[in-house]
Chain A
Amino acid sequence: MARGVKLARVEVIAAYPITPQTIIVEELSEICGRGELKARFIKVESEHSALACCMGASMAGARTFTASASQGLLLMHEMLHWSAGARTPIVMANVNRAIAPPWNLWSDQTDSLSQRDTSWIQLYCENNQEVIDTVIQAYRIAETVYLPVMVVLDAFILSHTSEVVDVPEQEDVDRYLPPFKAALTLDTNDPRAFGSISGPMEYQKLKMARHEDMMGAVEVARRADDEFGEVFGRKYGIAEPYRCEDAELILLTSGALGGTAKIAVDALRESGAAVGALRVRLFRPFPADEIAEAIGDAPKVAVIDRNLSVGAGGIFAQELKAALYDRERRPAVFGFTGGYGGGDFTPEVVEKIARRALEMGKPDSPTLWEAIP
C-alpha cells in the first residue's frame, strides 16, 4: 500500500495510527522522512482531523492520502460525508478490522461497509498485488469523478502477510496517472466560501449530481482498470467471475475471501459439482449489471459475507438481492455470514457452505450462519 502511495506521488498524507493500519503510515512516514516522497506528512490528533486535513489539502490542489481501520474509520464518519459532498478526490486505505466491543483486531468488513451511504467509492482487494495496483487506479478514478475512494483490504490476511509483488515502474505510473488538478481551485485573492448554506434547489441538485456521478463511476472504474491493464499487463475487472460457466451455484465473495473461493471452486469442480465464484471488487457504486451478467442463468448464488448488518444480515447479500429484484432472472440467494473477528474461512469451510447451498432447495433463512467453532 505504502509503495503504491509513493508511486502515485501523493503530496499530503495525514493519518492517525491504528492497528492493523499502522504499518502503512509508519512506512509512509519513513518514506517521507528519507525524502523519497516529497509529501507533507501531517501528524494529527484523531482520524476526524486526519480526514479534515486531507480535505483542506485536496481543495488546495494536493493529491492526498489517509489510512484507517475500524474505530478510526468510524470516528471519521462525519468527515466521510463531508469530503465526498465537497467532491474532494481523497484516497484512503481501510484495513477491515472488527468493531469493538469486544476488542478484536481481526478482519470484519462491517467497518467499511457501514460507510456505504457516505458517497465514497469502495474497492475491495483480494491480494497484495491487487492492493498496490488498486491504490494507483483509485487516484485515477477519484480524480476523474471527483469523489473519494476507499481501498479496502482485510486485516492481517492482507495487511500482515508477505507476498511477492510486482512493483510498477514509476515512469509507467506517471504515464497512467497524470498530476492532480482540482476541479474547484482556491484563490486567496478571491476568497469564496465552500459548502456554505444553500436552499432546497441547490441542495437537491448537488445530491442528484453526486448520485449520477457515482453511478457513472462504474464505467470510470472499469475503464481505469482496462487502461491499467494496457500499461501494466494486469487487470482485475470491477467484478471478477471464476469458472461460472454452466454453474448451478455461484459463490459471491469480496476481499481476500475471493482467493479462498477460487481454491474451493477448483476442488468442487474436481468432485463434479457445478460451482463457480464471483468476486465483487467495486462496491459503491454497486456494479449490478456486471454481476447479473456474470451470474447469468445460474439458479443459486451463495453470498459469503465477512460482515453483518445486525438486524438485516450480510451486506453483500442485501445488495445483491436489491440489484436482482427488478430483473427477469432471479436466482435463489443464500446469505451466509461469518468468518469475522479471526474466524478463519478456509477452502474447506467455503466448500461446506457450497454443499449446504446445493442441498437446500431454497434458503431456509435469510441469514445462514457459518460459524467457526
Chain B
Amino acid sequence: MMEHLYYDAAAMDLLRTTRNTLSNRTGSWRHMRPEFGLKAAACAAACPAGNPIARFMAAAAEGRIEEALRELKKENPLPGVCGRVCPRPCEAACNRAEFDEAVGTRAVERLLGDAGAAAGLCLPAALGKTGKRVAVVGSGPAGLSCAYHLALSGHDAAVFEAGSEPGGLLRFGIPAYRLPREVLDRELGFVGALGINMKTGCRVDAALAARLLDEFDAVVAATGALVSPGLGIEGEGLAGYHKGLEFLAAANAGAADGIGKTVIVVGGGNTAVDAARCALRLGAEDVTVMYRRGREDMPASDEEVAEAQEEGVKFEFNAAPARLTGEGGRLRGAVAIKMKPGEPDESGRRRPEPVAGSEEEWRADAVIEAAGGRVDNPFGRALEVDDWGATGNEKLFVCGDAAPGARTVASAIGGGKRAAIMADVFLRGLDTKEVKRKVLVGGNGAASAAAHREGEAAPGADGSVVRFKNVNTAYFSMAARAAKLERLSPEARVAGFDEVSAVCGSAAETARAEASRCFRCGECDDCGNCLVFCPDMSIIGKAAADGAAPGFDGDYCKGCGICARECPRGVIRMIEEER
C-alpha cells in the first residue's frame, strides 16, 4: 500500500554514528580483563593421582570411549584398579554435589578401565628415547606409576619386584573380591607393553641397592611400608596369632586356610577390614574388628566398613587387646581392655587411654594384627624424603608408602608420577623450580605428567580451581546419577572371592550418561556463550582441542566480565589488568 516512506529516513539515520566505531578502542577503559585457559576442576585438584577428569568426561559423554581412556591413561596407568579401590576424594569435592548429586566419577573410571579389555592399550604417545636407565624398586602402584611415566618420558625403566608376580600391594594386599585379578593383570600387561623390564622374584637388599645406584642413571625406591610392627603385647608367639599383611598375602594367594571359627582383627584401617572379610571367606563364623578408637576415627573407608557389616563382621570400638591368652602354645583368646579418648595427639585425634579394671577375656581361634606397616627402605632407614620424592642423593627418589603422605592407591600413583617427573628433571638437567611451578593441577594438587611431557602448564597450575560458585548452573539441568553399583548378596559374597560390586546397566550407555552429568569445570567446550554475550564482540577464536578457551580482543574488551559470568563452567575469570 505504502507508495512513499511514512518515516523520516534522514532523521532516523542520526540514530547511528556516521562512521564505524572501530576507531573507538574501548579496551582502554578496561581495568579488569578476562583470563581464559584451562582451570583445574575441584575434583581434579582433589585427585591424588591427578586424573584429568573433566577431559576424559568430555570424550566419554560423547561415547568416544577409547579417546576417553587414552586421556585418562596420560596420567594414570591403572584406571580399572583406581575405579574400584579409590576412596573417591574426587566425588567428595565434586561441584555437582551442591547442585544435585556428585558425578559418579569412580564408576566412570572403572568403566573406562574395563573398556580396555576390548579397546586394548590406548597408551598415550611416548617421548623419544633418551637412553637413560632408571631402576624402580617395587611394583606396587607407586612403582608401576613411576616406571610407566618414566617410560612415557623416553627412559628405559627396569622394575625390581621381590614377589613372584608384579603388583605389590595391589596383588597381595587387596583381595580379589575388591580387585579381580584379571583386571590387575590386564592393566599390568598394558604397563609392561611400554617395554618396561620387570624382574620378579628379585628382592633388593642393601647390597643390591648400592649396586643399582652405581649402575643406573637414577633409582626410585617404591618399596612400600610392609614391616608389621606387631601388637607389642604378651602372647604374640602363640599359634593362631597372625600379622595382617602376611595373612592377607596368604589369603590372596589362596594359601591361607584353617583360620578357625572365631577371629579377632586388631586395627581400624582397610587392612583390618580386608583381613576380617577374608577370614569370613575362609570359613570363620564370628569375626570382630577390634579398634582402640571410635568409629569416627577409623581410617578404613565407609564403603568397606558398610560392606563388611553386611557380611556379618562385627566391630568393637574403643577396645584393644592387653594380652593374648593361650594353652599349650595355641591361642585361646585375648584379654581386651576398654579404651577412652584422652588428649589429642599429633594427628589431631584423641589418644586412646585404657580404662582401669575393664579387662575382659575374649575367646578366639585367631587374632590378626592389622596396624599400619612401617617402612624398611633398603636405600636407608632414615632417608629424608621431600614431597616430590627427592632425597639427599640427587639420583635417588622415593615414592609410595615408603615416602611420607597418605597411603592410598591413588596417592601412590600420584607419588610415583611425582618421582618420575623429578627423575626426568634430573636426567634431562631441567630447572626443578620451573617444573614444579608448572605441573601441579590446581597449583596444589597432584602433578600432571602429561603437562610435564608436553612442556605445558597443568590445568590451574597458577592456583585457579573452579569451585561451585564459578559454575553457572543456569546452563545445567538436574539429572539423577546414572552410574550405580549393585552388589552380590552378603551370602554369595562370603562364599568365595568373587567381585562384590558391579556397575549397573550397559557399560557404554552408563559411562556416557554419567559422563554427561559432569559440568566439566574449567574445560572450554566451545559452547559460544562468551561470544554471544560479549557486548563488544571481543571474543576471538575457538576452543582448542585440549579444552583451552578462545581469547579476547584487547583493543575493544572493556572488561565488563559478562563472559566470565555467562561461562557455564568457570573457564573465564576476571583478573586485574596490569598497566
Contact = CB atoms under 8 A, between A and B. Distances in A.
A and B from one assembly? yes
A213 B8 contact: yes
Contact of A205 (B6, B11, B21, B537): B11
Interface stretch (B12-20, B361-369, B541-549): B12-20
B14 A192 contact: no
A183 B13 CA distance: 9
Interface stretch (A14-22, A216-224, A329-337): A216-224
A202 B6 contact: no
A206 interface: yes
A183 B10 CA distance: 11
Interface string A189-230: 011111110100010011011101100110110011001000
A277 B405 CA distance: 92
Interface in B17-32: 17-22, 24
Contacts of A206: 11-12, 14-15
Contacts of B24: 193
A146 B14 contact: no
Contact of A223 (B1, B8, B20): B1
A194 B12 CA distance: 11
B382 interface: no
17 contacts: A146-B12, A147-B7, A183-B12, A184-B15, A191-B20, A192-B18, A192-B19, A194-B15, A195-B16, A196-B17, A206-B11, A206-B14, A209-B11, A212-B8, A213-B6, A223-B1, A223-B2
A183 B21 CA distance: 19
B12 A191 contact: no
A252 interface: no
A97 interface: no
B9 interface: yes
A145 interface: yes
A220 B2 contact: yes
Contacts of B6: 144-145, 213, 216-217, 219-220
A194 B16 contact: yes
A87 interface: yes
A188 interface: yes
A67 interface: no
Contacts of A212: 8
B21 A209 contact: no
B15 to A, nearest CB: 6
Contact of A190 (B7, B8, B14, B20): B20
Given A209-B8, A213-B7, A223-B1, A192 B13 contact: no
Q: Contact residue range for chain B?
A: 20 to 34
Interface of A: 85-87, 144-147, 183-184, 188, 190-196, 198, 202, 205-206, 208-210, 212-213, 216-217, 219-220, 223-224, 227
A210 B6 CA distance: 11
The interface centre, meaning the residue of B7, B20, B24 with most chain A CB atoms within 10 A of its CB, is B7
Which 3 residue pairs across A and B have the least CB separation, nearest first?
A209-B11, A209-B8, A192-B16
A87 B14 contact: no
A87 B6 CA distance: 12
B1 A191 contact: no
Nearest to A212: B8
Given A191-B22, A192-B20, A192-B21, A184 B2 contact: no
Nearest to A87: B12
Given A145-B7, A220-B6, A209 B12 contact: yes
B26 to A, nearest CB: 10
B16 A193 contact: yes
Main secondary structure of the interface of A (DSSP, over half): helix
A262 B13 CA distance: 46
Contact of B21 (A145, A193, A198, A219): A193
Given A184-B16, A191-B537, 6 more contacts: A145-B6, A193-B17, A194-B17, A206-B15, A208-B11, A209-B11
Contacts of B537: 188, 191
B1 A195 contact: no
Given A144-B2, A220-B2, A183 B17 contact: no
A86 B22 contact: no
A56 to B, nearest CB: 10
Interface string B432-448: 00000000000000000
Contacts of B17: 192-194, 196
Nearest to A194: B16
Contacts of B21: 191-193
Contacts of A193: 16-17, 21, 24
A217 B6 CA distance: 8
Nearest to A43: B474
Interface string B499-532: 0000000000000000000000000000000000
Contacts of A202: 14
Contacts of B2: 144, 220, 223
Interface string B137-170: 0000000000000000000000000000000000
B9 A183 contact: yes
B459 to A, nearest CB: 32
A193 B19 CA distance: 9
Contacts of B7: 87, 144-147, 183, 209, 213, 216
Contacts of A198: 14
A220 to B, nearest CB: 5
Nearest to B13: A184
A205 B14 contact: yes
Interface string B403-415: 0000000000000
B1 A87 contact: no
A194 B15 CA distance: 6
A224 B7 CA distance: 15
The interface centre, meaning the residue of A85, A87, A192 with most chain B CB atoms within 10 A of its CB, is A192
A183 B22 CA distance: 22
Nearest to A208: B11
A165 B24 CA distance: 54
A278 B2 CA distance: 28
Contact of B15 (A86, A145, A213, A219): A86
Nearest to A213: B7
Nearest to A197: B17
B218 to A, nearest CB: 57
Contacts of A209: 7-8, 11-12
Contacts of A220: 2, 6
A208 B2 CA distance: 22
Contacts of B18: 192
A206 to B, nearest CB: 6
A216 B17 CA distance: 26
Contacts of A190: 20
A208 B15 CA distance: 13
A212 B21 CA distance: 30
Contacts of A196: 16-17
A251 B48 CA distance: 83
B173 to A, nearest CB: 55
A192 B14 CA distance: 11
The interface centre, meaning the residue of B9, B11, B15, B21 with most chain A CB atoms within 10 A of its CB, is B15
A136 to B, nearest CB: 14
B139 to A, nearest CB: 57
A278 to B, nearest CB: 26
A146 B8 CA distance: 10
Contacts of A208: 11
A202 B14 CA distance: 7
